[in-house]
């Protein structure tokens, strides 16, 4: 490579434009090191200064200056994003733990509902109830439960002219729980109804008592409401 070859093949222009192949670039740089006077002849410094002035006029960073960072590349923003990510991770972990606990509790409740365990009665509660003869009431005449106990209800029907009865038991605001047919009064005129309190869920239960004729027809007679607690 010599001066004539450099001028004839526009080596300088191609070098500045980055269009020289690797071998040509290495040969040209080696020639310039061996012949530094060529740089003065080519007035390369003037061209470089002119290029730098153009960069500055265009608002572009000079080669030795650090390239301006976008706002999301700045340290405060990066620290804020990192802190937010850590906070979200902690919140997600807490939420995951809470959901896992709720899932376990829900599974336990589902198992309880599915098996409907009936606890053995540890005591007996004897209650004599005087029902309403006029209309149903939402007020509990008595409350049973609190522990597994046998509730022995004695509903006073001594005043009724019927001897056989049908008792319909509804859980208030939910639905029908039980229907007992052809119940007879005892010698004291009481209807005897006994049940394990764990057989019924907590709530208020309304007993509707109907008298039965010999033909099987029914006539409303009385109502009484009791509460069950667990």
What is the average per-residue pLDDT within 1-5?
A: 72
Partner residues linked to 100 by β-bridges = none
Specify which residues 144 forms β-bridges with: 228
According to CATH, what is the number of the domain 123-229? 2.60.40
Question: Mean pLDDT across the stretch 172-187?
Answer: 92
* pLDDT at residue 116 greater than cutoff 60: no
Residue 54: what pLDDT?
Answer: 61
3 state SS of 230: coil
Question: pLDDT value at position 39?
Answer: 66
Of residues 152 and 2, which shows the higher confidence score?
152
pTM equals 0.51
Query: For residue 198, what pLDDT is reported?
Result: 86
More confident residue, 65 or 154: 154
CA distances 169 to 65, 120, 200, Å, are 89, 22, 11
Greatest C-alpha distance within the chain: 138
Picking from 147, 129, 141, 135, the residue whose alpha carbon sits closest to that of residue 192 is: 129
Between 184 and 116, the more confident residue is 184
Q: What is the pLDDT of residues 38-53, one digit of tens each?
A: 666 666 666 666 666 6
What pLDDT digit, counting tens, does each position of 65-105 carry?
556 666 556 667 777 788 888 888 888 888 888 888 887 77
Give the tens place of pLDDT for each residue, 181-193. 999 999 999 999 9
**Minimum mean pLDDT range among 80-84, 103-107, 205-209, 211-215:** 103-107
Query: How many CB atoms neighbour CB 151 within 10 A?
Result: 23
Q: How far apart are CA 42 and CA 35, in angstroms?
A: 12
pLDDT at 203 > cutoff 80: yes
What mean pLDDT do residues 126-136 have? Answer: 93
Q: How far apart are CA 112 and CA 212, in angstroms?
A: 38
Distances (CA, A) of 130 to 41, 169, 208: 125, 16, 13
Least confident of 53-62, 152-161, 193-202: 53-62
Mean pLDDT of the chain, nearest integer = 81
């Amino acid at each position: 490579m010599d001066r004539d070859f450099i001028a004839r093949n526009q080596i300088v222009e191609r070098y500045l434009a980055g269009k020289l192949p690797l071998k040509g670039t290495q040969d040209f740089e080696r020639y310039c090191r061996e012949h530094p006077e060529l740089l003065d002849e080519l007035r390369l410094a003037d061209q470089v200064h002119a290029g730098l002035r153009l960069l500055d006029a265009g608002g572009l960073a000079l080669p030795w200056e650090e390239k301006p960072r976008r706002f999301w590349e700045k340290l405060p923003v990066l620290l804020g994003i990192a802190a937010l990510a850590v906070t979200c991770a902690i919140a997600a972990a807490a939420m995951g733990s809470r959901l896992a606990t709720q899932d376990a509790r829900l599974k336990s409740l589902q198992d309880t509902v599915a098996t409907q365990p009936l606890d053995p009665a540890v005591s007996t509660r004897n209650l004599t109830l005087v029902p309403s003869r006029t209309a149903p009431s939402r007020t509990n005449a008595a409350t049973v439960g609190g522990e597994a106990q046998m509730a022995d209800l004695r509903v006073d029907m001594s005043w009724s002219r019927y001897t056989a009865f049908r008792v319909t038991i509804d859980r208030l605001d939910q639905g029908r729980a039980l229907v007992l047919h052809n119940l007879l009064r005892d010698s004291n005129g009481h209807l005897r109804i006994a049940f394990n309190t764990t057989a019924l869920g907590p709530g208020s239960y309304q007993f509707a008592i109907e008298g039965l004729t010999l033909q099987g027809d029914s006539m409303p007679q009385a109502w009484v409401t009791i509460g069950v607690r667990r």
